[in-house]
Amino acid sequence: MIRSHLLRTTRTPACLLSTSASTGSPPPSRRLRLSSLVFLTSAGVLISSYFLWPSKYRGRATFSHQPLSPSHFIPVTVSEKSHAGPDLVVLTLLIPPDSHPSDKNAPSFDTIWSIFIKDDDIQVERPYTPLFGLGEEGDIKLWVKRYPRGEVGRWLHTKQAGDTIEIRGPMKTFPFQGGKWDEVVMISGGTGFSPFHQLLFHHLLHSDVTARTRFTLLHASRSPAELPPLTLLQPLIDFAIAHPEYLRLELFVDSTSGAPWPESVAKHLKVGRVDRFSIAHALGISDGARSWFSWFTNLWTREQPNVGDSDIRRKNVLVLVCGPERMVAAIAGPYGKNYSQGKVGGVLAELGFTAGQVWKL
């Protein structure tokens, strides 16, 4: 069955409001009315363009009884919904058997990948990263935050078990290659934890620990109640305790007020932000802070600060950053045009990490 989504398009002619120079300037009340009219007209055009302008994504057809694909949407069922914190839920989506991909081990399903979900009400799509990837039964679990201005997230929070939504994918978020890097550092905030859980699940928790890569996860939430669900955190904590040579884990919260957490989680909790000092401390490197005298001396002699051979910045290191835009900008510098990588900035640039070592998800 093919279900087309036809979107209306509007073509609004340009309007020019002018007055003749020979008549002189209009009175203030008239200028105010003209300004209000121009503002309201412009706002209407922008809003209409957003919702009604043709889009190759919003116009993608929905196919039933077809395999999951990035080129079209398929209907899937919400099989489970569970509360996971303030304005947070975990949704389990079940792909129908006749829409299962022919090869679940295809390179397109290698970590890290995401899917797009379409809000049928306003025909807008947004990407979400499955926490575990694709399950054997065709199940996908998503950790979804409801933001005041997040239209798709709010829409997903209204869904209940048995409801149908439309998805397309997989879409490659980052082409991770096991064993390529000596050190992989992951810095996340909020639901930006999802791609890193997918990565760690497949390369540490769900496989034999034979790779030489060491992982470090620094995750920040506003409060303990907004941390990832314990069902996700506990296996990572247990692994980090059993194999500290392969995984370091630190959790950051603004405060520890609220319901108490298990002791295993509390031991990894730190009050504060993921900032320059906390990153440097977690990675065992100098935070780059120097006195004005040493800074002036190095500038004059053009010498660089001493960096030991064990310094992570001298290794084959990859730093992945995922979270709210303001956090990403503060940690790694803002995105470039159209969400391209842009330059490395923020804390990581101050600590000496370079473009080849940093990636913003």
Identify the CATH number of the domain in which residue 277 sits.
Answer: 3.40.50.80
- Give yes or no: residues 232 and 188 share one domain: yes
Is 323 domain-assigned? yes
pLDDT at residue 30, as a whole number:
52
- The domain that contains 157 carries what CATH number? 2.40.30.10
- Give yes or no: residues 207 and 321 share one domain: yes
Give yes or no for residue 230 having a pLDDT over 80.
yes
Query: For 327-345, how does the pLDDT look when each residue is reduced to its tens digit (9 = 90+)?
Result: 999 999 999 998 899 999 9
- Give yes or no: residues 305 and 348 share one domain: yes
- Give yes or no: residues 136 and 98 share one domain: yes
- Give yes or no: residues 76 and 150 share one domain: yes
Distance CA 116, CA 242 (A): 36
- Give yes or no: residues 338 and 198 share one domain: yes
- Give yes or no: residues 166 and 190 share one domain: no
- Using DSSP bridges, classify how beta strands 74-83 and 88-94 pair: parallel, antiparallel or unpaired: antiparallel
Is 15 domain-assigned? no
Average the pLDDT over 80-90 and give the result.
95
Domain boundary among 172, 191, 212: 172
Give yes or no for residue 131 having a pLDDT over 70.
yes
Strands (E), 190-326: 214-221, 247-253, 269-271, 317-322
Is 2 domain-assigned? no
Is 146 domain-assigned? yes
Distance CA 208, CA 203 (A): 8
Structural domain boundaries, residue 208 = 183-360
How many alpha carbons fall within 13 Å on the CB side of residue 275?
Answer: 7
- Give yes or no: residues 213 and 346 share one domain: yes
Q: 0.85 cut: is pTM over it? A: no
Lowest mean pLDDT among 16-20, 126-130, 249-253: 16-20
- Give yes or no: residues 279 and 194 share one domain: yes
- Give yes or no: residues 68 and 164 share one domain: yes
Give yes or no for residue 63 having a pLDDT over 80.
yes
Distance CA 173, CA 111 (A): 8
Domain count, the chain: 2
- Give yes or no: residues 192 and 153 share one domain: no
pLDDT at residue 24, as a whole number:
46
Q: How many CB atoms lie within 10 A of CB 189?
A: 23
Percent above pLDDT 70 for the chain: 76
Give yes or no for residue 272 having a pLDDT over 70.
yes
pLDDT at residue 9, as a whole number:
29
- Give yes or no: residues 196 and 270 share one domain: yes
pLDDT at residue 166, as a whole number:
97
The neighbouring-strand residues paired with 140 are 93
Domain boundary among 121, 142, 172: 172
